[in-house]
């Protein structure tokens, strides 16, 4: 599996699946979540409401993931995951890593070959860019595989890009 980083807008990424750093309600919010809901159009909110009604009536648990169609986005699927909120005392890095692992599991379940991730947790949930990057890359390296061939970390600022580049470089074999 190949992993790359890029500076960009995840709502414009042409990938089989993009990951939404969602809140547990799945009903939209700010940051990446708000941008994805706005770009996908109102059918995404309707799909999320259906997921809440049928599968997660109490909300999507922290560290878990679920897929919906992507509707007006260039991707085919949106994989929603809920990061741990450091400000609310959710400081276990395993929960953050689970966001990435479960998103990869769900991507494989829907047959995605390419997936784009934002820096889950490294926003209003209070994780540092370095912590988010190390968790993401560690989860990716430990993942037991499936159909996913290319993971793209699509990051919206240079500090996040630098953190993810450093995390990927630290795991590359040295010559």
From 33, 58, 92, 109, the catalytic residue: 33
Residues 6+ apart with CB under 8 A from 102: 63, 64, 65, 81
Which helix or strand (DSSP H or E) is residue 142 part of? helix 129-142
Q: Is 60 within 8 Å of 27 (Cβ atoms)? A: no
pLDDT, greater one: 88 or 173:
88
- pLDDT, residue 132, reads 97
Is residue 174's pLDDT more than 60? no
User: pLDDT tens digits for 8-26?
Assistant: 999 999 999 999 999 999 9
User: pLDDT tens digits for 66-125?
Assistant: 999 999 999 999 999 999 999 999 999 999 999 999 999 999 999 999 999 999 999 889
Domains annotated for the chain, with CATH where assigned, are 2-169 (3.40.220.10)
- pLDDT, residue 33, reads 96
- Closest Cα partner for 136 from 175, 106, 166? 166
User: pLDDT tens digits for 123-149?
Assistant: 889 999 999 999 999 999 999 778 899
Whether 16 sits among the annotated catalytic residues: the reply is no
């Amino acid at each position: 599996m190949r992993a790359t980083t890029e500076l960009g807008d995840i709502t414009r990424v042409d990938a089989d699946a993009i990951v939404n750093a969602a809140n547990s309600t799945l009903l939209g919010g700010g940051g990446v979540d708000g941008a994805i809901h706005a770009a996908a159009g109102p059918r995404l909110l309707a799909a999320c409401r259906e997921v809440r009604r049928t599968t997660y009536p109490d909300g999507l648990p922290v560290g878990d993931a679920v897929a919906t169609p992507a509707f007006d986005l260039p991707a085919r699927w949106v994989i929603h995951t809920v990061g741990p909120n450091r400000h609310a005392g959710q400081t276990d890095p395993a929960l953050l890593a689970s966001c990435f692992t479960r998103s990869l599991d769900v991507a494989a379940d829907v047959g995605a070959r390419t997936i784009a991730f934002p820096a889950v947790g490294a926003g209003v949930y209070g994780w540092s860019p370095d912590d988010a990057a190390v968790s993401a890359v560690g989860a990716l390296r430990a993942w037991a595989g499936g159909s996913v061939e290319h993971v793209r970390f699509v990051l919206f600022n240079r500090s996040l890009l630098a953190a993810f580049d450093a995390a990927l470089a630290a795991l590359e074999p040295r010559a």
